Amino acid sequence: MVTRLASLTVVVALLFAAVTAHGQQCGDLDNSGQIEASDALLLLNKAVDQPVPDLICPLSAGLAVTGQTTCYDATEGVVIDCAGTGQDGELQRGAARSFTDNGDGTITDNVTGLMWEKLSDDGSIHDGDNLYTWTDAVTTKVATLNATSFGGYTDWRLPNRVELGSLVNAATTRPATYSVFNTGCVASCTVLTCNCTLRSRYWSSTTFAEGPQYAWSVTFEPGNVEWEAKSFVAGVRAVRGGL
């Protein structure tokens, strides 16, 4: 028994070292905000086929699929058989999308490891109808989430252009996002009961290099990424964590 415990201790130590070596890329498997022994134990249990919860940050997440599963003809936009087209709808390359509602007003993307704020329709700081200039998005919206430790965290931020774009589902429009980001949105709903997405523009933290008075944004009616003047008012969905 002592020998088996000693061996197990060595294995856990080695696994902890391996997990830690991955750093912020994929070490925080339980999304606790830091890399610790519990992450190594999760990895050990997974390795010996023991039941474990979904690992928030898989060791090789890669890029996610776009969501598109349909193929179209090049001139009329008519739906066609995908076989042999080489279109995204045929190939569907990338990791399958998977989201976890954490039950506290947040949703975790299990592919990217990002934790997203849910948006409500209750007049609170989370209300999806609230619009901000690019500067106010950080100094008002994000600052309030951190000051109130929303979800138990104080590292909320504005997503960058790529992170925000990861919420676009290329298989749908109006809004062009995944159903978990547009569900139960009725009057007075809270982040515990709904998640709302405007069809309009949302800010990213990324400045448009050709014109620094502009920033990149995503408009979720069609799902396109474009730049807008930083004085413009747009929606904000805060994020934390990630690879």
What string of DSSP letters covers 42-83? HHHHHHTT---PPPSS-TT--PBP-S---EE-TTT--EE--T
pTM reported for the whole predicted model: 0.75
Average pLDDT for 215-234? 97
pLDDT by residue (tens digit) across 113-123? 999 999 999 99
Q: Where are the domains of the chain?
A: 2-47, 62-96, 107-241
pLDDT by residue (tens digit) across 131-179? 999 999 999 999 999 999 999 999 999 999 999 999 999 999 999 999 9
Amino acid 157: pLDDT: 98
Amino acid 24: pLDDT: 40
Amino acid 54: pLDDT: 54
pLDDT by residue (tens digit) across 189-203? 999 999 999 999 999
